[in-house]
Amino acid sequence: MTGLADIVARHRRRRAGAAAGGDIIQRIALLLAVLLAAAAILTPLIAPFDPLDQSLISRLRPPAGFDRAGPGHLFGTDELGRDVLSRALYGMRLTLTLAFVGALIGLCLGGTLGVIAGLRRSWLEDAIMALVDMQIAIPFTLVALLVLAVLGSNVTVLVLVLGVAGWEQYARIVRAEVRRLTGQPFIEAARAAGAGTVYIARRHLLPNVVSPLVVQFTLALSNIVILESTLSFLGLGVQPPQPSLGSMVGLGRDYMPTAPWIVLAPAALIVTLTFTVQILGDWLRDRADVRLQER
């Protein structure tokens, strides 16, 4: 079985590489992640302008280095003379906040349902798994569209919608892990020693499902960033004048022929965010060595 030996050897090498801090791309991603997170946290300190400050005399100024560039406007200004860099920074801050809270909501919702489905093998499990199947079958963007149109978009509604978007992945992972673990001798031993269900869930199951959940959380972050910026792009997410990366691209579309920087700066930031988070997610997946569902 050279095939198997080969796979094992490759796997060892990969783990060694991961333990040593990953390859060059992963290190760049890690550095970018730290920089982006710092930028998001420190936005009010580092943004050169107020994101809502309009200035009629410096409308549609190109980025620094071009003719007519406005003083201090590194990435230029938009149609109302607002600083594109500042708006993009505040937009990223909002996007990341929404993504974190949304992913946390999904984690709590899906994780709880997953544990219940894994522990209670009854009609409850069937019902939860039927819900999971449904969530997968129905294109979620459409439901989000409907809910946001009816309720009107504000940050609370938006973050709830984003939270519901990915719960089924957590539920599937947790249920599968719980089912696998409950068959193990140490759980049986705990049960024989008289431990209750809640105690077993907290002390024995939770520590074992943490690493796959962290991986899923990271991957979910990038999906939520994409969903949020898509909804904001369509005008159904974050509402103006509050800046968001998606709505900057959406509203800047009208000025694309003459002022492409209004669109390009936030678009580049979105792609940087999603690339960084996904590379980190994949790296964590390799490190955690869990067989997650390939998507």
Partner 1 sequence: MTDYLLRVAIKMAVTLFAIVTVTFVATRLSGNPIDTFLGEGLTDEGRDALIAYFQLDRSIWHQYVAYLRGVVSGEFGLSFIERRPVTQVVAARLWPSAQLLLASIGLTAAVSIPLGVLAALYRKSWIGSAVMVVAFSGYAVPNFVLAVVMILTFSYWLNWLPVVGNGTALHFIMPTIAMSGVLIAALTRFTRNAMLDVLGQDFIRTARAKGLPELAVVMRHGLGNAGVTVISVIGLQIASLAAAGSVVVETIFSWPGIGQLLVTAAIMRDYPVLQFGVIAVAVAVVLINAITDVAYALVDPRIRLARS
Judged by the rule CB under 8 A, the positions of this chain that interact with partner 1 are 3, 130, 133-134, 136-143, 145-152, 222, 226, 229-230, 233-236, 246, 249-250, 253, 256-257, 260, 263-264, 267, 270-271, 274-275, 278, 282, 294-295
Q: With respect to partner 1, which residue has the nearer C-beta, 84 or 119?
A: 84
Residue 46 or 256: the one with the smaller Cβ distance to partner 1 is 256
Distance of closest approach, residue 6 Cβ to partner 1, in angstroms:
9
Q: CB of residue 97 vs partner 1: minimum separation in angstroms?
A: 19
Q: How far is the CB of 151 from partner 1 (least distance, A)?
A: 6
* Crossing angle of helices 155-165 and 84-119, rounded to 10°: 50
Cα dist from 29 to 2, 25, 36, 272, 278, whole Å = 34, 6, 10, 9, 9
Nearest-approach distance from CB 282 to partner 1, in angstroms: 8
Would you say 119 or 270 has its CB closer to partner 1?
A: 270
| Closer by beta carbon to partner 1, 119 or else 251 | 251
CB of 118 to partner 1, least distance (A): 20
Q: Which is nearer to partner 1, 20 or 142 (CB)?
A: 142
Count of other CB atoms within 10 angstroms of residue 27: 12
Closest distance to partner 1 from the beta carbon of 10 (Å): 8
Q: In this complex, which beta carbon is closest to partner 1, that of residue 119 or of residue 220? A: 220
Q: Smaller CB distance to partner 1: residue 145 or 181?
A: 145
Answer whether 63's CB lies under 8 Å from 121's CB. no
Report in angstroms how near the CB of residue 258 gets to partner 1 at its nearest: 9
Q: How far apart are CA 145 and CA 244, in angstroms?
A: 18
